[in-house]
């Protein structure tokens, strides 16, 4: 193979960072070793976004992050070239033709575990092999451990979270240092040919919108306020979660729209992570990190999150263990859920193809009720905690985990509507849409997935509401019709009061709906 003119790092929607990025790090070392420039490539593929139900918010977040990355890479003399490509099925050919035009010899990319993306990469690999020009290197980067590497004694992939966690925890110390991006090719080191290519690439811009995925101005402003783009912003969100104090409800409810900006500097004992073990299910407080948009887009690595917690635990003598006795330990175990669902997707790809993991529930009899589905989407079901959750999703593109579970369970078990319709709506609405975690969460709630809640254990939304939002602040914030309702009524307003306030009445009675769900799950196919 000739020395060639460039090494290429192909950045994807899930690894949008310069720091601690495996493919970029390897590409940069290779470029330095070969003494040729490194070029970063990003391909916007609107047809893929449609196929994966990507929300306009997620696409907008991608574009905003690309702008930051272009700057960071630029400061290292690495150009970022962004192209838009359609149709999706010719994307591999397009990649090869771009690589050829740069006379590239190496391609590096982080693996995406979705089936379509794996097929695409295999095609790129085959084309490159046929042409004998570019050596392709697809590497694992999304998780703490490579999907599929931890196995049961029988050599099978884990389908239960707890044993997976036990196998996963010893790997927390595998990544003591961030992966460096070494390449820093000065323009005078670049050949005449490269100079021309380089100049052109540095001057290409990142589009600020993609047709079909535009946000209205108000929404765009909210997204920018709640989820600012860039690695610095992501590390800031993490730092605040680890080091700043959680506000109690007495101190005044934190605006659910805040991105976690609360008073600075406090001892870790009172920090939000310190309280995470006890408070993480409180939706009326800023109780969780709100890092999910950054983790889903790879703006920060999960390794960086683990390293930061280990640093903290070293300082504050809090141990990361499986005992769930500390806030830090409990939070790290949430990161393990993210890994777990990616492992499931990689090992059982059928879950991402509309199939239940537990095939015995493939024929559960669902209601087809457009009115109920629409009311659920819009937050008009007459169940305040469900409506608050859905309105939060619609307004800010993000939801607290507990409300995701409550709203998902309500759609599936109370309204008896197919979980796949809910899964799709979340992807279309949330800024942190991630196929593996979203599918995992929905199949958990629908009792069809790996390690799910048993089908007969059905959340009572009113009891859940009292536990998750004991102050009622969350409901009052997102459901203004109820802004003057206090006490237990906020969780289940009496019919007369609801009517007076113009708030809808529930479509179903929970106890009856519960019996219906149990009947249908027990005998799939029965009406």
- Kindly list the residues in this chain that would bind ligand FAD in the complex (CB under 6 A): 280, 288-292, 295-296, 334-335, 337-338, 341, 400-401, 404-405, 408, 426, 430, 432-434, 437-438, 440-442, 445
- Of 103, 137, 366, 369, the catalytic one is 366
> DSSP label at 253?
P
CB closer to ligand FAD, 183 vs 238: 238
C-beta of 12: minimal distance to ligand FAD in Å?
A: 16
C-beta of 514: minimal distance to ligand FAD in Å?
A: 19
Q: Report the Cα 447 to chain-centroid distance in Å.
A: 21
Give whole-number Cα distances, 479 to 351, 378, 393, in Å: 34, 11, 13
407 by DSSP, 3-state: which? helix
Is 10 an annotated catalytic residue?
A: no
C-beta of 142: minimal distance to ligand FAD in Å?
A: 11
Main-chain phi, psi angles of 250, to 5 degrees = -65, -35
- Of 10, 102, 331, 419, the catalytic one is 419
- Of 137, 337, 460, 481, the catalytic one is 337
447: left (phi over 0), alpha (psi -120 to 50) or beta: left
Q: Which two tokens stand for residue 230?
A: 């860039």
Residue recorded with tokens 């050829």: 100
Per DSSP, what are the bridge partners of residue 39?
Answer: 8
Give whole-number Cα distances, 176 to 30, 303, 311, 339, 511, in Å: 22, 9, 10, 18, 51
C-beta of 219: minimal distance to ligand FAD in Å?
A: 18
Q: Which two tokens stand for residue 239?
A: 């730092």
Residue recorded with tokens 């559960």: 364
22 by DSSP, 3-state: which? helix
CB closer to ligand FAD, 420 vs 510: 420
Question: Closest residue (Cβ) to ligand FAD?
Answer: 441
CB closer to ligand FAD, 266 vs 334: 334
Q: Which helix (H) or strand (E) holds 314?
A: helix 302-316
C-beta of 484: minimal distance to ligand FAD in Å?
A: 29
- Of 168, 398, 442, 444, the catalytic one is 442
CB closer to ligand FAD, 337 vs 462: 337
CB closer to ligand FAD, 404 vs 520: 404
Residues in the chain: 527
Is 442 an annotated catalytic residue?
A: yes
**3-state SS of the chain: helix, strand, coil percent to 5?**
55, 5, 40
C-beta of 53: minimal distance to ligand FAD in Å?
A: 10
- Of 401, 428, 460, 481, the catalytic one is 401
Pairing assessment for the beta strands 80-84 and 104-110 based on DSSP bridges: unpaired
CB closer to ligand FAD, 379 vs 440: 440
Pairing assessment for the beta strands 38-44 and 6-11 based on DSSP bridges: parallel
Cβ 279 vs Cβ 246: under 8 Å: yes
Nearest to 227 by CA among 139, 138, 154, 295: 295
Nearest to 430 by CA among 438, 441, 420: 438
CB closer to ligand FAD, 306 vs 485: 306
C-beta of 85: minimal distance to ligand FAD in Å?
A: 25
CB closer to ligand FAD, 128 vs 273: 273
Which string of DSSP letters, residue by residue, matches 178-216?
Answer: PPP------GGGS-HHHHHHHHHHHH----S--TT-PPP
C-beta of 273: minimal distance to ligand FAD in Å?
A: 9
- Of 214, 334, 428, 481, the catalytic one is 334
Q: Which residues are known to be catalytic?
A: 334, 337, 366, 401, 419, 442
């Amino acid at each position: 193979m000739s020395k060639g003119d460039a090494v290429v790092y192909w950045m994807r929607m899930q690894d949008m960072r310069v720091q601690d990025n495996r493919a970029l790090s390897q590409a940069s070392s290779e470029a330095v070793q070969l003494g040729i420039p490194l070029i970063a490539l990003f391909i916007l593929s609107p047809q893929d976004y449609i196929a994966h139900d990507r929300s306009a918010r997620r696409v907008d977040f991608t574009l905003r992050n690309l702008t930051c990355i272009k700057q960071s890479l630029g400061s290292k003399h690495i150009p970022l070239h962004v192209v838009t490509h359609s149709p999706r099925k010719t994307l591999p050919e397009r990649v090869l033709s771009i690589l050829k035009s740069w006379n590239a010899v190496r391609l590096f990319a982080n693996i995406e575990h979705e089936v379509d993306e794996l097929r695409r990469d295999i095609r790129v690999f085959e084309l490159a092999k046929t042409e004998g020009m570019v050596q392709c290197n697809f590497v694992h980067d999304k998780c703490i451990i490579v999907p599929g590497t931890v196995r049961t004694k029988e050599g099978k992939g884990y389908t239960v979270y707890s044993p997976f966690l036990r196998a996963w925890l010893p790997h927390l110390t595998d990544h003591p240092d961030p992966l460096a991006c070494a390449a820093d090719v000065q323009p005078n080191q670049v050949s005449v040919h490269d100079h021309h290519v380089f100049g052109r690439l540095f001057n290409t811009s990142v589009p600020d919108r993609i047709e079909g995925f535009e946000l209205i101005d108000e929404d765009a402003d909210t997204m920018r306020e709640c989820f600012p783009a860039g690695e610095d912003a992501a590390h800031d969100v993490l730092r605040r979660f680890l080091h700043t104090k959680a506000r109690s409800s007495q101190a005044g409810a934190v605006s659910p729209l805040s991105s976690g900006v609360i008073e600075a500097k406090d001892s870790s004992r009172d920090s939000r992570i310190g309280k995470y073990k006890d408070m993480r299910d409180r939706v009326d407080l800023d109780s969780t990190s709100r890092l999910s948009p950054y983790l889903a887009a790879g703006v920060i690595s999960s390794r960086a999150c683990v390293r930061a917690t280990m640093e903290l635990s070293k300082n504050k003598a809090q141990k990361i263990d499986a005992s769930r006795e500390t806030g830090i330990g409990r939070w790290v175990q949430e990161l393990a859920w993210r890994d777990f669902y990616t492992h499931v997707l990689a090992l059982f790809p059928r879950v991402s193809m509309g199939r239940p993991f537990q095939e015995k529930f493939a024929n559960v009899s669902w209601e087809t009720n457009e009115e109920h589905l629409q009311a659920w989407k819009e937050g008009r079901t007459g169940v305040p905690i469900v409506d608050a959750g859905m309105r939060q999703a619609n307004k800010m593109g993000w939801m607290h985990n507990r409300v995701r579970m409550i709203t998902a369970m309500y759609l599936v078990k109370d309204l008896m509507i197919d979980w796949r319709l809910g899964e799709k709506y979340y992807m279309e609405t949330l800024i942190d849409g991630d196929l593996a975690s979203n599918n995992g969460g929905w199949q958990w709630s629908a009792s069809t997935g790996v390690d799910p809640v048993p089908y007969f254990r059905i959340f009572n939304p009113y009891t859940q509401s009292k536990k998750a939002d004991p102050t009622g602040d969350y409901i009052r914030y997102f459901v203004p019709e109820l802004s003057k309702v206090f006490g237990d009524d906020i969780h289940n307003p009496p019919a007369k009061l609801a009517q007076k306030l113009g708030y809808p009445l529930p479509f179903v009675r929970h106890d009856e709906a519960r019996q219906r769900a149990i009947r249908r799950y027990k005998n799939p196919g029965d009406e």
